[in-house]
Amino acid sequence: MNRFFLVLAITIGVNCSFAQEKQERKSTDINEIEVWTKSVQVSAKGDTATVELYLQSYLKNPREFKLNTFSTGLLSGSEKPLWYHTMQLGKVRVHIDDRQNYLHYLLTRNEPVLLTIKTGGWKKQWGKPKQLKLAIEDFEEQGKILEYTIEL
C-alpha cells in the first residue's frame, strides 16, 4: 500500500513539473540587440517613473553600444519623450545635470546588461509607463541614429 502512494506521489510530481512551462519573456530585437523588460515602477508619490530593461547583444564580437541620452525617454502619450533624471547601463551612470549626449557601453554576446532609466516629472494619473523610446547608433553605419519604441 505504501508503494502505491509513493508511486502515485512521484507520478503526480513529475506530471506537475512538466505541466508548468517556463514563462517566455517578451523581447524585442533592435539592431542585433535583444531587449526585454525587467520592471516598470512609479514612485508612491507618483512623480517618478523607473524602467529597467535588459540588453543583450547577438553579435559574436563585442560591440560598442552608443545610446543618445537626450532622444531616449519614457513616452507619456505624446511623441516627445520625457527626459531622464538618471540613466544607468551596467556600472555607467549618467545624470541629466551632466549634459552628456551619449552613454557608451561595450556589449558582449550572451551577457545581459541592465539599463535603468528614472524620469522625474511623471504624473500619477498617467499610471505606469507603457512605452520607451530608445535612440541608439547603428553598429554598421557610424553616426546613423536609429529610434525604436519599446512596449513595456
pLDDT digits (tens, 9 = 90+) for 51-82: 999 999 988 889 899 999 999 999 876 667 88
CATH of residue 121: 2.60.40
Residue 74 belongs to some domain of the structure: yes
For 19, 83, 151, the CA distances from 130, given in Å and listed in that order, are: 31, 16, 6
Q: Domain range holding 126?
A: 26-151
Whose cell is 516627445? That residue is 80
What's the rounded Cα separation, in Å, for the pair 97 and 116?
A: 17
Mean pLDDT of 8-17: 50
| Confidence (pLDDT) at 127 | 86
Mean pLDDT of 28-49: 92
Share of the chain above pLDDT 90, in %: 50
User: Looking at the domain assignment, is residue 2 inside a domain?
Assistant: no
Using left for φ > 0, alpha for ψ between -120 and 50, and beta otherwise, residue 58 falls in alpha
Would you say residue 10 lies in a domain? no
- Asked whether residue 14 is assigned to any structural domain, the reply reads no
In a domain, 66, yes or no: yes
What is the count of structural domains for the chain?
1
